[in-house]
């Protein structure tokens, strides 16, 4: 009579070979690497082999940033998390709140908005700030009042809109902060809808770029007002203060700002081909400098960077061994498009990898998160997304589960 240990060694010898083969297959599946494929591969230019020159840093600015719109990657910047007064760039947050409340059905473009005496006195022609010129104690359609705020940077229009949406500036500021939190603006706090200096009213270059990205992505109609070059209220026609709209046809926003405390500010966005960039320059020395510096950042970004879509949602990019399931593998993909921004000509140097559990056990739901796919360049992770199950894997029957249980035990001893 053979001892159990000898029985395992000699009688089940073929099973040991099979188990080894299965383990090898499982490890091979785990090592499988998704390989990104460009939609239209382009030959690298000779200049692509050269290092990317430093970004043209705005020397007179207190903080600045350049962000890729599609990925949210910061391509360059300084003091991007430093608190700064955003001046009239604040009105981009006001536009976002109005668009969100409109999407929720709480207000309409045709609403008649009153230019109250308070709005007129605090932000009208009698003040030192910019104004729209809507007559006091008269109404105008909300969409017209909003254009007066966006194009003319009217402080009076911003106050009137805040009163219409929330009843008061304070109540509207509470809405601004709630929506900012939803966007992910963790370094901002708003006290008013117009951006005039007030204690506790601040943001950062990074947060403002997130705001611009959110407005463009979620409310393109509201964003489109930012490219209007001039707007007329009564007998007064005023130009948009963003001079880049005239200098660069790829620029379609976003907002200027200036106070004595904030300095000269500009958040700009441009689209060339399929690529969009967002620049933020805060606390610059003059109107001329903020425009020139923003233009230089955009030109540098477009010249030396490109954006690629690596994976589409729902497409299989890898598979993984599954135990105790009706199927012995699960196909993996991403739930959202995976894009990456990188220096031009570096696409072939991307290094994709997967982090997945060594052991997966059914049942597995379709869309269930399984692991993470990462893409690295020069040893640095530049993008990552959750890996999810493209297909469901139902639990096997009793004998199927028992069989896999045995092999799982065998591999563990």
CA distance 294 to 194: 22
pLDDT of 20 > 70? The answer is no
C-alpha–C-alpha distance, residues 315 and 174, integer Å: 42
pLDDT at 34 over 60: no
pLDDT in tens, 234-255: 999 999 999 999 999 999 999 9
Report strand pairing: 329-334 vs 338-343.
unpaired
pLDDT surpassing 80 at residue 47: no
Q: Which tens digit of pLDDT belongs to each residue from 137-184?
A: 999 999 999 999 999 999 999 999 999 999 999 999 999 999 999 999
Alpha-carbon torsion, ordered 55, 59, 60, 62, to 10 deg: 60
pLDDT band at 12 (very low <50, low <70, confident <90, very high): very low
CB 90 within 8 A of CB 190: yes
Where does CATH 3.40.710.10 sit in the chain? 63-305
- The rounded percent of the chain whose pLDDT value lies above 70 is 85
What CA dihedral angle connects 173, 178, 184 and 188, to 10 degrees?
30
Which residue numbers are catalytic?
88, 91, 153
The confidence score (pLDDT) of residue 23 equals 37
Query: From CA 119, how far away is CA 159, in angstroms rounded?
Result: 5
Query: DSSP per residue over 65-132, as a string?
Result: EEEETTT--EEEEESTTS-B--GGGHHHHHHHHHHHHHHTTSS-TTPEEE--HHHHHHHSTTSSS---
Across all residues in the chain, what is the average pLDDT?
87
> Taking the chain, what is the end-to-end CA distance rounded to the nearest angstrom?
23
pLDDT in tens, 49-97: 678 899 999 999 999 999 999 999 999 999 999 999 999 999 999 999 9
Fold of the 4-31+312-412 domain = Peptidoglycan synthesis regulatory factor (PBP3), Domain 2 (2.60.410)
* C-alpha dist (Å) from residue 228 to 225, 235, 295, 369: 6, 18, 19, 44
Distance CA 173, CA 273 (A): 37
Query: Which tens digit of pLDDT belongs to each residue from 213-222?
Result: 999 999 999 9
User: What pLDDT does residue 48 have?
Assistant: 59
Residue 10: predicted pLDDT: 30
- The answer, yes or no, to whether residue 19 has pLDDT greater than 50, is no
- CATH 2.60.410.10 residue ranges of the chain are 4-31+312-412
Is residue 122's pLDDT more than 80?
A: yes
R_g (Cα) of the chain, nearest Å: 28
In whole angstroms, give the CA distance from residue 192 to residue 357.
49
pLDDT band, residue 44 (cuts 50/70/90): low
Region 332-353: mean pLDDT is: 89
What is the reported pLDDT for 198? 96
- DSSP β-bridge partners for residue 290: none
Beta bridge partners of 383: 375
Q: Which fold would CATH assign to domain 63-305?
A: Beta-lactamase (3.40.710)
Q: What is the mean pLDDT of residues 294-317?
A: 93
Cα-Cα-Cα-Cα dihedral sign, residues 163, 167, 171, 177 = negative
The closest of 175, 172, 193 to 183, measured between CA atoms, is 175
User: Each residue of 355-375: pLDDT tens digit?
Assistant: 888 888 879 899 999 999 999
Residue 399: pLDDT band with limits 50, 70, 90: low
Residue 9 has pLDDT above 50, yes or no: no
Decide: 88 and 77 in contact? Cβ < 8 Å: no
> Of 3-17, 56-70, 248-262, 376-390, which gets the smallest average pLDDT?
3-17
Answer yes or no: is pLDDT of 328 > 90: no
Give me the sign of the Cα torsion angle 119, 122, 124, 129. negative
């Amino acid at each position: 009579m053979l001892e159990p240990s000898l029985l395992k060694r000699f009688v089940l010898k073929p099973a040991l070979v099979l188990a080894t083969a299965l383990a090898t297959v499982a490890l091979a599946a785990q090592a499988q690497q998704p390989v990104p494929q460009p939609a239209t591969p382009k030959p690298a230019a000779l200049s692509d082999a050269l290092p990317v020159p430093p970004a043209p840093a705005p020397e007179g600015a207190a903080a600045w940033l350049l962000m890729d719109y599609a990925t949210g990657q910061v391509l360059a910047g300084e003091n991007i998390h430093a608190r700064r007064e955003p001046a009239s760039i604040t009105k981009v947050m006001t536009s976002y709140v109005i668009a969100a409340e409109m999407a929720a059905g709480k207000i309409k473009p045709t609403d008649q908005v009153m230019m109250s005496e308070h709005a007129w006195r605090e932000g009208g022609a009698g003040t030192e700030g910019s104004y729209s010129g809507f007559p006091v104690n008269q109404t105008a359609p909300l969409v017209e009042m909003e254009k007066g705020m966006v194009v003319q940077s009217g402080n009076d229009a911003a106050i009137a809109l805040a009163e219409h949406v929330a009843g008061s500036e304070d109540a509207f500021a509470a809405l601004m902060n709630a929506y900012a939190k939803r966007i992910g603006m963790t370094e901002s706090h708003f006290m008013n809808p117009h951006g005039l200096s007030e204690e506790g009213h601040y943001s950062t270059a990074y947060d403002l770029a997130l705001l611009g990205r959110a407005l463009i992505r979620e409310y393109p109609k509201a964003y489109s007002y930012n490219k209007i070059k001039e707007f007329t209220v009564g007998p007064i026609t005023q130009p948009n203060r963003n001079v880049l709209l005239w200098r660069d046809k790829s620029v379609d926003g976003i907002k200027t700002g200036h106070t004595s405390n904030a300095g000269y500010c500009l958040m700009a966005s441009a689209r060339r081909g399929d690529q969009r960039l967002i620049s933020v320059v805060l606390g610059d020395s003059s109107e001329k400098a903020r425009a020139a510096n923003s233009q230089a950042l955009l030109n540098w970004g477009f010249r030396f960077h490109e954006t690629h879509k690596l994976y589409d949602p729902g497409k299989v990019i890898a598979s993984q061994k599954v135990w105790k399931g009706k199927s012995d593998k699960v196909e993996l993909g991403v739930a959202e498009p995976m894009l990456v921004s990188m220096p031009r000509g570096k696409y072939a140097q991307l290094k994709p990898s997967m982090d997945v559990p060594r052991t997966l056990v059914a049942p597995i739901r379709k869309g269930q998160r399984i692991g993470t796919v990462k893409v690295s360049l020069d040893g640095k992770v530049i993008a990552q997304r959750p890996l999810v199950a493209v297909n469901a894997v139902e639990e096997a029957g009793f004998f199927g589960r028992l069989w896999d249980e045995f092999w799982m035990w065998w591999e563990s001893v």
